[in-house]
Structure 1
Amino acid sequence: MTIHIGAEKADIAPTVLMPGDPYRAKWAAETFLTDTRCINQVRGMLGFTGTWNGHPVTIQGSGMGMPSLSIYANELIKDFDAQTLIRIGSCGGMQKHVGIRDVILAMTASTLSTPSRGIFKELNFAPCADYGLLAAAHAASKSKGVPTHVGGIYSSDVFYDERPDLNEQMVRHGILGVEMEAAELYNLAARHGRRALAVLTVSDHLITHEALPAEDREKSFGDMVEIALQAAFAPAG
């Protein structure tokens, strides 16, 4: 057990999916895993372990923002020896060709700062996804016929952003979408030699101001979870 994860080491699988919302973790575990059991309830940040196609999988909520994700990812890696960590979550689209319900596979994650900034000091480290996971997720999305975009995203420190000038520059430089966690996940994976990827569903759009209706979210988020699971257990190419 750790301060934030009340599970025994054997309760956590080597592959962990990390949605921000603990209730999305519950929904994903009940929908996609078999023999599911709750392995964490500390501070209401629910975690579940079960099996998918015979493979053990843990789905652990991470909370909102990089500091919260950093807590859970650090403990999962250091104390439970998690090897593959995949963020599954929503994001805001930032390019006109990126549509609502589309999936974004984050190849890189730009940010103003992360909890790792104190380590890097003056270095602008470029955190990126594990290529094997990225390629497998792209293949899985194509097989499902899900509109998918691969490229850079922006991990923001704030939800209520008041920097339209910064957003304009990110759009200009091809950033596909904005969320709040992936950059720190990629930093930690690089530091500890683990595999990481962010698979994101576009739920709203900063340019067109469209938003995914609540009743349509479950199906769209389901595609994202299936892509993440297929990528995690794809044969090495």
Structure 2
Amino acid sequence: MTPHNKARKGDIANVVLAPGDPLRARFVAEKFLSDARLVTDVRNVLGYTGTYRGKAVTVLATGMGGPSVGIYSYELFTEYDVGAIIRIGTCGGLQDSLAVGDLVLAMTASTDSAWAHQYNLKGTLSPCCDPSLLLCALEKVKALGYPCQAGMVFSSDLFSSYNALGADSWQAWARMGALAQDMESYALYATAAWCRKRALSILTMTDSCVTGEGFSDEMRWTGLFPMIEVALEVALEVR
């Protein structure tokens, strides 16, 4: 048990799906897992363990932003011996080739955060996903027929719609090829690298910074089904 997670070591599966929203964690547990049981609810951050097609899977919320996902992922890797974390989150699209609802596989993450200063690196860290998880996800996406792109994401401490730099602050990152913006992938990938563990962010593009289009309230639940299905199919392959 930790200050942020009351689960005992055997309560957490080897592979964890990590949405930001606690209610999304509950939604995944209720709609996709069999025999799901609540294993932690510290600070109302909900975590459940159940089975998907016979395999034990945990779904645990990580909150919003890099520091929050950094805490939860570090504890999962180091205190609970989790082997792989698959982030299932939403993102803002930075390219006009992405349609609302498309999936984004984050190959690498760039950031405006100072997260990596803790590692005392003499340069700029650009952490990447686990390649085996990425290849597996690409295979699953192709088999299931979901629209998807893989590439760099930009993980920002600033929410694109609210920051003081203005609504167009994302354009320089788009020019460098970033497919989408989220807030968590960078800290997750850096933490996984430090802990010598595996991570992958599978994102749903819910709001386009380019066109202004976005999901309706209902679609913010049902429109996430493809991402969740792909993540669970990848989880089946994690050993």
TM-score over 0.5 for the pair: yes
Check the 8 A contact 1:19/1:62 in 2, yes or no: yes
Distance (Å, rounded) in 2 between the aligned partners of 1:216 and 1:87? 19
> What is the CA-CA distance between 1:139 and the residue it aligns to?
1.2
- The one-letter amino acid paired with 2:225 is G
Cα displacement string for residues 21-57 of structure 1 (whole angstroms, at most 9, x for unaligned residues): 0000000111111010000110000000001111111
Query: Helix, strand or coil: the match of 1:214?
Result: coil
Query: Helix, strand or coil: the match of 1:208?
Result: coil
- The one-letter amino acid paired with 1:25 is A
Change (3 A) 1:235 1:189: closer
Q: What residue is the counterpart of 2:231 in the other structure?
A: 228
TM-score of the pair, normalised by structure 1: 0.95
Query: Helix, strand or coil: the match of 1:2?
Result: coil
Runs of 4+ with deviation above 4 angstroms: none
Query: Helix, strand or coil: the match of 1:133?
Result: helix
- The one-letter amino acid paired with 1:188 is T
Does 1:116 pair with 2:116?
yes
Distance (Å, rounded) in 2 between the aligned partners of 1:31 and 1:120? 43
Percentage identity across paired residues of the two chains: 42
Q: Report the number of matched residues.
A: 236
Q: What residue is the counterpart of 1:129 in the other structure?
A: 129
Distance (Å, rounded) in 2 between the aligned partners of 1:96 and 1:143? 25
TM-score of the pair, normalised by structure 2: 0.95
Q: What residue is the counterpart of 2:100 in the other structure?
A: 100
Q: What residue is the counterpart of 1:162 in the other structure?
A: 164
Q: What residue is the counterpart of 1:200 in the other structure?
A: 203
Distance (Å, rounded) in 2 between the aligned partners of 1:105 and 1:52? 22
Superposition map of 1:52-67 within 5 A? 52-67=52-67
Unaligned residue ranges in structure 1 (runs of 5+)? none
Cα displacement string for residues 177-222 of structure 1 (whole angstroms, at most 9, x for unaligned residues): 0000000110011111111000000110111001111112322211
Q: What residue is the counterpart of 2:177 in the other structure?
A: 174
Unaligned residue ranges in structure 2 (runs of 5+)? none
Comparing 225-234 and 130-139, the one that deviates more: 225-234
